Structure 1
Amino acid sequence: MKHIVLSLFLCAFVTAVSGQITQDATKQLRIYEDDDFFNIWGRGTDRGYSNGSGASYLYMKEKKSVFLDKWILAKAGPNAINVYEWGLMQVMITPNQIADSSFIPSDFYYAGALFATHGLTSYNPEKKYSLHSEFVFGVLGPWALAKETQTFFHHLIGYQSPMGWEYQVPNAPLINYNFTYERMLWDRIKSLEILGSVNIRAGTMTSGISALSYIRFGIFNPYFGNRNLATATRRRFQLYAIARPQFSFTAYNALLQGGIFKSRDTNFEQLEGNQKTHMRRFSIGMDYGIAIVVNRMSLSYTQKTHTEWMSGTGKHSVGNITLLIPISRKTIINK
């Protein structure tokens, strides 16, 4: 049954993630779905990073920023185009054999996280760079309700019920600060852009650093926007392919290692003592796909493939579907 649901989903969505700004839609809703059963090669799984579901409200504002927005969320200069965001997301990680009701020491822990985000993406059209700063706060473990979510949806589509959630990582708070710097490297041809970026993460959820390159080829508007709105939104139809090679170093990941309170949980301490696998600190990956934008709406599909996160578990691929819906056509001057 899950194969049928996947086939219908992929037939309806044949597009890829778009990080591009929409300057003439100052309020937008973003629907975001990761699932490792989404796979363009027909090799879907249900293990590792199994699912991530989220929704975000993106907006520009006329009022000057105060408190966190002013002091923690970085801007790319006084004339930057600033897009703020509030989001809510749930993610879950499971071992390969979810029908096994016993602890599997050579695989991933069961882990779930539920968290909110507040961030700012600030674009500098003249110097062609952007800054994305984000504050994350939420919970890890049973409080995140990942067991209930996965059990419900598997029952809904008639798929195998997960049996090992009693072995999930314990409850813990998640607080993180993430920062990304992105700059244009090459755009001498109108149909091709190459960008480079660095992402830094620190907190009780995950800590590490990543280096990425973003390549897109096709028909599109300027990635970093333009102070002239007519230039920034000249193309009402956009279609392009993307590739995003990346290299990451992870110092800590609560979903793979347990949260900051794991030493207080005697049951988890016993599981950890029997664990045979361990988190890989270095990984490489490649995201690729295709994106379509019509007027102010975009729909996207990206296949995200990475080397193993945990030793002995093998490489992993997750499909992503993102829908960006405009809910306002008003154009404002950012402050």
Structure 2
Amino acid sequence: MWMKQTAFKYLALLLLLMSIVLVLRSEPCKAAEDRRTFSFYFENDLFADTDRHYTNGIKLSWISNDLTGYAKSGSLPDWSLPIIRRLPFINEQGLQRNVGLSIGQNMYTPGDISSEDPLEDDRPYAGWTYFGIGLHSKNERRLDSMEIQLGIVGPDSFAEQTQKFVHELSGCQSPNDWDNQIKNELGLAVVYERKWRLLYSGTVGKSGLDLIPHLGGALGNVYTYANAGMEARIGWNIPRDFGTSLIRPAGDSNAPLNAQDPRLSRDQDFSLY
């Protein structure tokens, strides 16, 4: 079993490295405002040799090209335009505007998945499978993201089947109490977040650093919270974006901001930070 788990870890690492290579070898053929961005996210506590609480997350997202002239471009359905015109931040002058779509699944388990009985004072088994649509507006210094997520928790999220399949494949401990998971319920969340690029130093082909604080919150029946934080990056060829993207609402911030992004340069093959 130990060899099977080790092999599975190396396979996961190999898939991650392959995805990085594909990104590094992609040909930059369009300006930043004309590019669409696809991202695949994988978060798992496998590499920390734990299996508890927030134990796995996968997400696929797409961010559109700049829709500054959305009303005349025909890129959006007519019924959506009156709604978008009433949204805050989206219609300010001098901003890039993007639409984001995402689909994902989060998985949560108690601290001891070998137990066949519910554990008091511990996180219950739960899955959250969702679809999200977001609107992003940004300039050189600020990114505003508004997102609506719609999904389901409970057996119809298929988190139980996902975890049991992966654990059987990897030879890990089989979870024994999914029968007591949270019951089926439709979920809705409305999310807003703002990020600032307070500091950016560096050019393509040189070392640099940046500082990106964020502030936001969510309201819904799946989660309601306020959040604040900050990311600092230092390294080589730091991307011109708004920081590391994570599996969380309004977390898609890795689309290139402008033509100075090293990912759009034919002369620079990698970033390290």
Q: Pick the TM interval, shorter chain.
A: 0.7 to 0.9
Question: By how many angstroms is 1:49 displaced?
Answer: 0.3
Q: Which whole-Å CA distance do the structure 1 matches of 2:50 and 2:128 have between them?
A: 20
Match of 2:134 in 1: 119
Rate the CA distance shift 1:28–1:195 in 2: closer, same or farther, 3 A. closer
Q: Deviations over 1:16-41 (max 9, x none)?
A: xx9xxx81662232211111113xxx
State the TM-score, normalized to the length of structure 2.
0.74
Question: By how many angstroms is 1:187 displaced?
Answer: 2.3
Q: Secondary structure at the match of 2:198?
A: strand
| 1:84 pairs with 2:99 | yes
Q: Which has the larger strand fraction? A: 1
Q: Which has the larger helix fraction? A: 2
Question: By how many angstroms is 1:13 displaced?
Answer: 3.4
> Structure 2 stretches of 5 or more lacking a match?
24-30, 243-255
Match of 1:306 in 2: none
Rate the CA distance shift 1:80–1:109 in 2: closer, same or farther, 3 A. same
Q: Deviations over 1:198-250 (max 9, x none)?
A: 021111111111111111112224336666x3x34346434132xxxxxxxxx
Q: Secondary structure at the match of 2:32?
A: coil
Aligned residue-pair number: 228
Letter in 1 for 2:212: L
State the TM-score, normalized to the length of structure 1.
0.61
Q: Which whole-Å CA distance do the structure 2 matches of 1:238 and 1:69 have between them?
A: 37
Judge conservation of contact 2:126–2:153 (CA < 8 Å) in 1: yes
| 1:32 pairs with 2:38 | no
Letter in 1 for 2:138: Y
Indicate the RMSD between aligned Cα atoms, in angstroms: 2.6
Judge conservation of contact 1:76–1:129 (CA < 8 Å) in 2: no
Which residue, 116, 141, 149 being the options, matches 1:136? 149
- Identity rate, percent: 21
Match of 2:185 in 1: 172
1:1-335 matched pairs, under 5 angstroms: 1-10=4-13, 13=16, 23=32, 26-38=35-47, 43-60=48-65, 61=67, 63-64=70-71, 66-72=81-87, 74-75=89-90, 77-125=92-140, 128-188=141-201, 191-218=208-235, 219-223=237-241, 229=259, 231-232=260-261, 233-234=264-265, 236-241=268-273
Runs ≥4 residues deviating over 6 A: none
Question: By how many angstroms is 1:74 displaced?
Answer: 4.0
Judge conservation of contact 1:221–1:238 (CA < 8 Å) in 2: no
Rate the CA distance shift 1:238–1:217 in 2: closer, same or farther, 3 A. farther
Letter in 1 for 2:59: G
Judge conservation of contact 2:45–2:51 (CA < 8 Å) in 1: yes
Letter in 2 for 1:240: L
Question: By how many angstroms is 1:154 displaced?
Answer: 1.6
> Structure 1 stretches of 5 or more lacking a match?
242-335
Question: By how many angstroms is 1:155 displaced?
Answer: 1.9
Q: Which whole-Å CA distance do the structure 2 matches of 1:124 and 1:24 have between them?
A: 11
Match of 1:333 in 2: none
Letter in 2 for 1:48: H
